[in-house]
Structure 1
Amino acid sequence: MSQDQSPDAVINTAAGKASKYRWVICIMLLVAMVINYTHRQTFALLKDTVGAEQGWTEQTYADIVFWFQCAYAIGYITFGGIIDRFGARTGYTIAFVIWTISHTLTGFVGNATQFMMARFALGIGESGAFPASLKAIAEWFPQKERALAVGIFNAGSNLGAIIAPFAIPLITLPFVNMAFGEYHLSMTGLGWGWRACFFVTGLLSMVWVVAWWIMYRSPREHPKVNAAELAIIESDPADTGAKIPWLKIIAVKETWLFAIAKFLIDPIWWVWLFWLPGMLKKNYGLDLSSFGLPIIAIYLMSDVGSVAGGWLSGKLIKSGVSVNWSRKITLLVFALLVMPVFFLNGVKDLWTAVLIIGIATAAHQAFSANVYTLPTDTVPRKAVASVIGFGGMCGAIGGMLMSKNVGFILETTGSYKTIFWMAGSAYLIALIVIHLISPKLERTTKLDGVA
């Protein structure tokens, strides 16, 4: 980029003749996230099927989720450093292979302890997905496109959660009867049992890692990126300096604004992901055969939110609003949209509940997409994966605490009311924390030249 050209001028000049390969990378990241969440959601959907066979209580299930999140916390911080050191290509490959093997081997487990071990290994591998994805986004996209790119690949978490409630019953059961109000979708399933779900979804997903290894390179090394697209990708000011030590990274407030936000909002997403099927069974009488369409409807709405969050903040930036206010206005809008879950416990109609939950999960994804862009806005690119890894660890610790609480609450009260109140308030609290820590959301200079 020449000295007298602004990033906007470079992008506007190059956009008409630029290749679009960065969006191919974004789609690759989306597909990986679909696989990630299909694997993750498989366990939640089979909770009552496996739990009844193996004699689980609510606390047993919570303990299995706890150990998955414990591994996720450990792996998140570990993979952040690995990805910063070796890059997104190698780091994501390692993570993907670990989680896919662990998921596939879950089909052999015979009791809750073995489930905890398998889910622990899965958590180690899956923890690398977001740090690697965000590293790739920081490497391939200029600042003004990052929120949209994050929203697109993050939509894969919803697509995976949509595919799983459709596929898992069909693999497990000989007959499936999904209901949408008065409409019933009846299908003949394979009837292979719950173990086959892990074998089938695990083995099929290995195609992705081969494609990733073949297709991914840094933008400057990639033959499909022309000079015009490279100008767009590199239109932001270049980072300086070598890899930044951990102690330096956790000493800056920009790391903590991301980490605290993740600690507050990630546990809410875990609750929806791991306890939504159980809640639909308890409150509305659904089961593995019938709760597929409500769950699909919820995560379809979530997909819209994931992209909308990135679109809104990107639109505000392009219209001349500062990055600071673009991010925070977007966060406020979607924090407010979560709040109807306060009243969810009193809702008796299934599809009204689906609407409220769907809006809340969509708002979470929009909020989360913008939270994930904060490190790319505020720290050097060479520190992005490490900051995201640390924040993800904090989010997983929050999820561990939430899992224990949810298990205890359901075991002792049998009600989701307290859980819904926590879900409704977490996002506004997170936004307040972000603003108090960084009122102007400025890029830190404290890590420039640090080695």
Structure 2
Amino acid sequence: MPVHAKTATVARIQWVALLFLTAAGIINYIDRSALSIANTAIREELHISPTEMGWLLSAFSLSYAFAQLPVGALLDRFGSRIMLGLGMFFWSLAQAACGLVNNLSIFLLSRAVLGACEAPLFPAGAKVISEWYNQRERGTPTGIFIASSCIGPCIAPPLLTVIMLTIGWRWMFILTGVLGMMLAIGWYLIYRNRQQVPLSAADVAYLEEGERFRVSEKSISGKEWRGLFAHATTWGMLVGFMGVIYMVWLYLTWLPSYLEHQRGLSVAHILAGWSRCLICLGWPA
């Protein structure tokens, strides 16, 4: 049982932060899914070949992967409020820009910016939870936040398909981009890093409960980084996530196009099938 009680101040900050993080995670994955939903419509309007569509899809993943490398150091320097706020705003701006493009080059640039600016989300979320939850209580908020990576891909196909069929693929990108920019502004105006909030002794006692050591400000050396690869656990995580991410990315990118071109299922038919599944599960028609 916890020794120190959680104060109302900390509880309020926790729920506000977790709400923003989960919403950001859901929007993050909705934005990632948009190109695959509009794959056929974009190829027909902009005369893009399947190979060029592959470049568009890869532009996101490559920039996202390489942007992960400096994110940790930048988060330590500037904090989650600035890094996530700026990242969310500019990835959403890039998402909206995808709805305005008329050539492949600008589209590639927008997708690359989208990927690079989405990189701070999950590291920032981990930092926020470590700052505002004590060690005993981090499991539940982490699970809720990480669940956004499943909720987003789940709701993205029907949501984006409805928008695309109703007002077009361009507005699909623009509306989701504007929504993300609004959330980014709200995050920056409302959220504060732990060192920016005056805390009472009771607040500090709760937050530091269960900590076995203080976080060191010393930079990790190259030798220490290389030492990680001497552990089987590191390689197990790398190989495991390669498999997981491959399957997730296949779903997020090529599955809708595959169903349409190889199985003869249009996006409208897929949406109808999704609706029937919800009705069978007891959802209202």
Contact 1:44 1:273 in 2 (8 A): yes
Which residue is 2:181 aligned to? 206
Equivalent residue of 1:290, what SS? helix
What is the CA–CA distance in structure 2 between the aligned matches of 1:114 and 1:296, rounded to whole Å? 35
Is 1:79 aligned with 2:78?
no
Is 1:154 aligned with 2:146?
yes
Equivalent residues in 2 for 1:20-39, closer than 5 Å: 20-21=11-12, 22-39=14-31
The 1:27–1:70 alpha-carbon spacing in structure 2 relative to 1, beyond 3 Å, is same
Contact 2:86 2:184 in 1 (8 A): no
Q: CA deviation at 1:280?
A: 3.1
Q: CA deviation at 1:222?
A: 3.3
Is 1:123 aligned with 2:115?
yes
What is the CA–CA distance in structure 1 between the aligned matches of 2:91 and 2:22, rounded to whole Å? 17
The normalised TM-score by structure 1 is 0.54
Q: CA deviation at 1:273?
A: 1.3
Identity %, equivalent residues: 28
Which residue is 1:43 aligned to? 35
What is the CA–CA distance in structure 2 between the aligned matches of 1:115 and 1:232, rounded to whole Å? 48
Equivalent residue of 2:99, what SS? helix
Q: CA deviation at 1:262?
A: 3.4
Read off the aligned partner of 1:290 and give its amino acid letter.
H
What is the CA–CA distance in structure 1 between the aligned matches of 2:221 and 2:58, rounded to whole Å? 26
Q: CA deviation at 1:32?
A: 0.8
The 1:16–1:81 alpha-carbon spacing in structure 2 relative to 1, beyond 3 Å, is closer
Is 1:244 aligned with 2:219?
yes
The 1:16–1:53 alpha-carbon spacing in structure 2 relative to 1, beyond 3 Å, is closer
Is 1:66 aligned with 2:64?
no
The 1:237–1:113 alpha-carbon spacing in structure 2 relative to 1, beyond 3 Å, is same
Equivalent residue of 2:112, what SS? helix
Structure 1 residues not aligned, in runs of 5+: 1-8, 174-188, 301-350, 352-451
What is the CA–CA distance in structure 2 between the aligned matches of 1:283 and 1:39, rounded to whole Å? 25
Equivalent residue of 2:138, what SS? helix
Read off the aligned partner of 2:268 and give its amino acid letter.
S
Contact 1:30 1:152 in 2 (8 A): yes
The normalised TM-score by structure 2 is 0.82
Which residue is 1:269 aligned to? 248
What is the CA–CA distance in structure 2 between the aligned matches of 1:231 and 1:284, rounded to whole Å? 59
Is 1:114 aligned with 2:93?
no
Read off the aligned partner of 1:14 and give its amino acid letter.
A
Read off the aligned partner of 1:287 and give its amino acid letter.
S
The 1:123–1:12 alpha-carbon spacing in structure 2 relative to 1, beyond 3 Å, is same
Q: CA deviation at 1:153?
A: 1.2
Q: Choose the corresponding residue for 2:169, options 194, 203, 225.
A: 194
Show CA shifts across 1:367-413 (max 9, x none). Answer: xxxxxxxxxxxxxxxxxxxxxxxxxxxxxxxxxxxxxxxxxxxxxxx
Contact 1:162 1:296 in 2 (8 A): no
Contact 2:98 2:110 in 1 (8 A): yes
What is the CA–CA distance in structure 2 between the aligned matches of 1:115 and 1:212, rounded to whole Å? 27
What is the CA–CA distance in structure 2 between the aligned matches of 1:296 and 1:202, rounded to whole Å? 25
Q: CA deviation at 1:249?
A: 5.0
Q: CA deviation at 1:267?
A: 2.3
Show CA shifts across 1:419-443 (max 9, x none). Answer: xxxxxxxxxxxxxxxxxxxxxxxxx
Which residue is 2:208 aligned to? 234
Contact 2:99 2:172 in 1 (8 A): yes
The 1:62–1:132 alpha-carbon spacing in structure 2 relative to 1, beyond 3 Å, is same
Which residue is 1:279 aligned to? 258
Equivalent residue of 2:216, what SS? coil
The 1:111–1:24 alpha-carbon spacing in structure 2 relative to 1, beyond 3 Å, is same
Structure 2 residues not aligned, in runs of 5+: 281-285
What is the CA–CA distance in structure 2 between the aligned matches of 1:294 and 1:250, rounded to whole Å? 48
What is the CA–CA distance in structure 1 between the aligned matches of 2:223 and 2:271, rounded to whole Å? 47
Contact 2:158 2:274 in 1 (8 A): no
Which residue is 2:137 aligned to? 145
Equivalent residue of 1:34, what SS? helix
What is the CA–CA distance in structure 2 between the aligned matches of 1:294 and 1:154, rounded to whole Å? 27
The 1:66–1:19 alpha-carbon spacing in structure 2 relative to 1, beyond 3 Å, is closer
What is the CA–CA distance in structure 2 between the aligned matches of 1:246 and 1:93, rounded to whole Å? 29
The 1:156–1:233 alpha-carbon spacing in structure 2 relative to 1, beyond 3 Å, is same
Show CA shifts across 1:236-264 (max 9, x none). Answer: 22324314246255223279455454334
Which residue is 1:405 aligned to? none
The 1:246–1:104 alpha-carbon spacing in structure 2 relative to 1, beyond 3 Å, is farther
What is the CA–CA distance in structure 2 between the aligned matches of 1:251 and 1:61, rounded to whole Å? 36
Read off the aligned partner of 1:209 and give its amino acid letter.
A
Which residue is 1:412 aligned to? none
Equivalent residue of 1:110, what SS? coil
Flag the structure with more relative contact order, 1 or 2, with Cα contacts below 8 A and sequence separation at least 6.
Answer: 2
Contact 1:162 1:295 in 2 (8 A): no
Read off the aligned partner of 1:166 and give its amino acid letter.
P
Q: CA deviation at 1:68?
A: 1.2
Equivalent residue of 2:251, what SS? helix
What is the CA–CA distance in structure 2 between the aligned matches of 1:272 and 1:165, rounded to whole Å? 11
Q: CA deviation at 1:154?
A: 1.9
Equivalent residue of 2:82, what SS? helix
